[in-house]
Amino acid sequence: MFIGEKLHAIRKAKKISLTELSEKSGVQMATLSRIENKKMVGTLESHIQIAKSLGIDVTELYKDLSHQNAVIDLGHDKNTDVFGHNDEASFEILTKNIMNKRMMPTLVRIEESGKTNKEQNQGGAEKFIFVLDGHAEININAQVFILHKFNTLYFDASLPHYFRNIGKGVAKLICIATPVSL
């Protein structure tokens, strides 16, 4: 079972519509729909909000999830999912069937002077950043790293972190996170 199937089953058992869950959780209805249709996994933050709204512990969403073998993916196409982190940043998943993968490659776009929301992944999580364009400040556990075009950074994603655009125009970063399963 995948997280989207699990969410759908719990939501239906509790007789809650997508609209109601969106209103209660603050997670956009489109995001909920994409999670349930296995087009994206969502974030830990969104999972926590969803679980609270359903009156369950977040760990209930992760019980009995599938850990299937990786599938070969021949690359990026125009049908990838883009979701907003906030009004200043967006993430585009760069592969399909993300629930079958061991890492999640995304293209992060941060508007001029914008930043991503603060994140803190599960223990053992790691991230690799490659700056495609622009200048970024990577804040990890109150430590600041300044990255420019073609710079990279590899870090422990279980530490609190966020990315900020410190240059002109849109900053574009490739972010590879592992593991995908939450």
At 179, list the tokens: 């593991």
Q: What is the pLDDT of residues 85-132, one digit of tens each?
A: 678 888 888 877 766 778 889 899 999 999 999 998 888 899 999 999
Q: Rounded to whole angstroms, how far apart are CA atoms 117 and 48?
A: 15
Q: What is the pLDDT of residues 23-70, one digit of tens each?
A: 999 988 888 888 888 777 777 788 888 989 999 888 787 777 654 433
| pTM of the predicted protein model | 0.57
Parse the chain into domains and list their residue ranges: 3-62, 82-178
State the pLDDT at residue 16: 93
Beta partners for residue 177, in sequence order: 104, 127
Name the fold adopted by 3-62.
434 Repressor (Amino-terminal Domain) (1.10.260)
CATH no. of 82-178: 2.60.120.10
Q: N- to C-terminal Cα distance for the chain?
A: 13
Element (H, E) at 129: strand 126-133
